[in-house]
């Protein structure tokens, strides 16, 4: 079947199969989750319960890093509550940030606020000591605080000091909170002692797409984003000169930044091979932190280095500038849906010259299909002569068998880049478009967009020239709109809107090209007749 397909058809099929594989694989083989909470427990951290630590190696770190069991009710062990107009944050008696809830309803899921702190695993600012005996004591002795509640106004800051007095050392954590969600922290010990401070693990949030990358990132001074994905961590990695350390999911992150270049950042694994990140120190540490949405404008306003927490996987090189342009368009239109539509229009305009040549080439290939079939039949037993004859036919008629491929090849990275952008843009959460789309980050509850997308794809197929010689090929391509509609039903509305707009513009462009090519053919036909008449009836 495949040897009878044209280069364009083979390329289109490859693109489609790649796309389908990309979606189906991540749906069938999502990252492995722990079978139960008990399998994820190597360190019990609840106040008043017996605590154990993993075996400590000569470097003070066990092979499997300590991970807490499910956190007790944050209110039951609450030590400090921080309130602002944007969030509520809670610190427990072990000096950990155990809860942060955003008040903006665009972040709600099922009319409930989203908890940004993982209720299983290591929580932000948790300290573990290398000394096993001190560590066991630290898990039983509660911190004291010089304030039980802080209320932040729009421009102000508030500080709290936490103190833990142990038999051999006193730990002091001084935190200063800002209304925009970031904080400053200084950790000091009464005497040098080796300890580890955790950035926390990301929470699991309902409704987030499986295809989004979740895990830990260490962004270093050389501009490299070291990504450690959930379920894919094999051992411990140490990083230095880290500008940003992030435990992240699709939309939110717990971040440390402003670290001293000499601070060692370790990324280890839990028993589910998920990453756990922590700082290693023996004395005082001073740095900054942030827990919240990966909103570009918010992160940039706090510190420009934080925008590096927004990561798009393999297509970051193309996705970052595309998102920057999308952000600019949003500033112009004031609506994310119309910004997406405008982005597609601009991309189509940029690619128009190449797309036009590709469409003309496909028209020529369609016209030459009968002659190519004749040549294949004529030189069936002589492939060399057949290829030479076919190439001569292309040359004589100004056709390029690869002419339609380049525009498609250029659109592949653009599509996957915009896919990553729209999949990871927290700005789309709660962003409406038209009257029936209330949230561009979620599927269309009315199915209108995916149905229109499938219909537009079907209509586009009808308008696009083809030269199928195999009925099976024709059937496969005929049902592609149905297949794509099925996959796009659960996709974020913003992504479906992008694809639908792209299809509509392709239809408009194909219509114009078909009209122009018909005129070109008519002119050629008239010229041919005139030449024939001039030659006395001979072609």
Averaged pLDDT for residues 141-159: 93
Tokens of 355: 């797309």
Query: What pLDDT was estimated at residue 316?
Result: 82
Query: What pLDDT was estimated at residue 1?
Result: 46
65-77 pLDDT per residue, tens: 444 445 556 666 8
Q: What does the alpha-carbon distance between residue 127 and residue 135 come to, in Å, rounded to a whole number?
A: 9
pTM higher than the cut 0.85: no
pLDDT at 52 over 70: no
Averaged pLDDT for residues 400-415: 70
If phi > 0 it is left, if psi is from -120 to 50 it is alpha, else beta; for residue 200 that is left
Q: What does the alpha-carbon distance between residue 300 and residue 278 come to, in Å, rounded to a whole number?
A: 24
Q: What does the alpha-carbon distance between residue 231 and residue 29 come to, in Å, rounded to a whole number?
A: 11
Query: What pLDDT was estimated at residue 73?
Result: 64
pLDDT at 93 over 60: yes
At residue 244, φ and ψ (nearest 5 deg) are: -155, 130
Query: What pLDDT was estimated at residue 69?
Result: 47
Q: What does the alpha-carbon distance between residue 442 and residue 53 come to, in Å, rounded to a whole number?
A: 42
Task: State how beta strands 264-269 and 182-189 pair.
Answer: unpaired
Q: How confident is the model at residue 14 (pLDDT cuts 50, 70, 90)?
A: low
Q: How confident is the model at residue 20 (pLDDT cuts 50, 70, 90)?
A: low
- Domain ranges in the chain are 2-25+327-364+401-534, 31-311
Query: What pLDDT was estimated at residue 263?
Result: 96
Query: Is residue 87 exposed (0-12), middle (13-18) or buried (19+ Cβ within 10 Å)?
Result: buried
pLDDT at 356 over 90: no
CATH number (2.70.98, 1.10.3470, 2.60.120, 3.90.640) of 31-311 reads 2.70.98
Averaged pLDDT for residues 290-318: 92
Query: What pLDDT was estimated at residue 259?
Result: 97
For residue 195, what is the enclosing H or E element?
strand 195-198
Q: How confident is the model at residue 433 (pLDDT cuts 50, 70, 90)?
A: very high
pLDDT at 41 over 80: no
Averaged pLDDT for residues 229-247: 93
Q: What does the alpha-carbon distance between residue 379 and residue 373 come to, in Å, rounded to a whole number?
A: 10
pLDDT at 381 over 90: no
Q: What does the alpha-carbon distance between residue 245 and residue 236 come to, in Å, rounded to a whole number?
A: 15
- Mean predicted lDDT score pLDDT of the chain: 82
pLDDT over 90, % of the chain: 49
197-230 pLDDT per residue, tens: 999 999 887 666 656 788 999 999 999 999 999 9
């Amino acid at each position: 079947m495949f040897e009878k397909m044209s280069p364009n058809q083979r390329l289109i099929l490859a693109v489609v199969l790649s796309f389908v594989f990309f979606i189906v694989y991540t749906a069938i083989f999502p990252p492995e989750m722990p079978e139960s909470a008990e399998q994820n427990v190597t360190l019990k951290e609840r106040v008043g319960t017996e605590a154990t630590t993993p075996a400590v190696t000569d470097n003070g770190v066990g092979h499997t890093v300590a991970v807490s069991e499910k956190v007790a009710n944050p209110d039951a062990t609450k030590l400090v509550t921080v309130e602002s107009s944007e969030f509520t944050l809670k610190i427990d008696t072990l000096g950990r940030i155990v809860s942060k809830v955003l008040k903006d309803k665009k972040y709600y899921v099922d009319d409930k606020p989203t908890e940004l702190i993982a209720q299983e695993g290591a929580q932000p600012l948790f300290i573990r000591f290398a000394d096993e005996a001190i560590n066991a004591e630290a898990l039983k002795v509660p911190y004291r605080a010089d304030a039980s509640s802080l209320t932040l106004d729009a421009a102000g800051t508030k500080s709290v000091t936490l103190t833990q007095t142990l038999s051999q050392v006193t730990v002091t954590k001084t935190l200063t909170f800002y209304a925009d969600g970031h904080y400053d922290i200084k950790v000091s010990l009464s005497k040098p002692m080796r300890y580890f401070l955790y950035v926390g693990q990301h929470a699991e949030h309902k409704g987030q797409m499986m295809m989004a990358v979740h895990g830990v990132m260490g962004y270093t001074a050389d501009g490299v984003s070291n990504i450690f994905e959930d379920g894919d961590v094999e051992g411990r990695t140490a990083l230095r000169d880290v500008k940003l350390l992030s435990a992240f999911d699709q939309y939110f992150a717990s971040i440390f930044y402003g670290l001293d270049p000499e601070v060692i950042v370790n990324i280890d694994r839990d028993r589910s091979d998920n990453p756990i990140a922590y700082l290693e120190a023996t004395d005082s540490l001073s740095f900054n932190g942030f827990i919240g949405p990966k909103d570009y404008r918010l992160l940039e306003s706090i510190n420009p280095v934080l925008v590096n927490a927004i990561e798009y996987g393999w297509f970051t090189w193309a996705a970052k500038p595309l998102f920057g342009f999308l952000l600019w368009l949003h500033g112009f239109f004031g609506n994310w849906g119309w910004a997406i539509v405008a982005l597609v229009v601009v991309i189509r305009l940029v690619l128009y010259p190449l797309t036009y040549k590709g469409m003309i080439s496909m028209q020529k290939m369609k016209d030459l299909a009968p002659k190519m079939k004749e040549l294949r039949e004529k030189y069936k037993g002589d492939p060399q002569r057949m290829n030479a004859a076919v190439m001569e036919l292309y040359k004589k008629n100004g056709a390029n068998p690869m002419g339609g491929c380049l525009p498609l090849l250029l659109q592949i990275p653009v599509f996957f880049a915009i896919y990553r952008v729209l999949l990871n843009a927290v700005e789309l959460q709660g962003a409406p478009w038209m009257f029936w789309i209330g949230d561009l980050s979620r599927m269309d509850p009315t199915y209108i967009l995916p149905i229109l997308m499938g219909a537009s794809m079907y209509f586009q197929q009808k308008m696009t020239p083809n030269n199928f010689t195999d009925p099976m090929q024709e059937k496969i391509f005929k049902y592609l709109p149905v297949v794509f509609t099925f996959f796009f039903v659960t996709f974020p509305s913003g992504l479906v809107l992008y694809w639908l707009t792209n299809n509509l513009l392709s239809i408009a462009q194909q219509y114009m090209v078909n009209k122009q090519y018909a005129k070109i053919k008519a002119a050629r036909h008239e010229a041919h007749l005139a030449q024939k008449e001039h030659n006395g009836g001979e072609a």
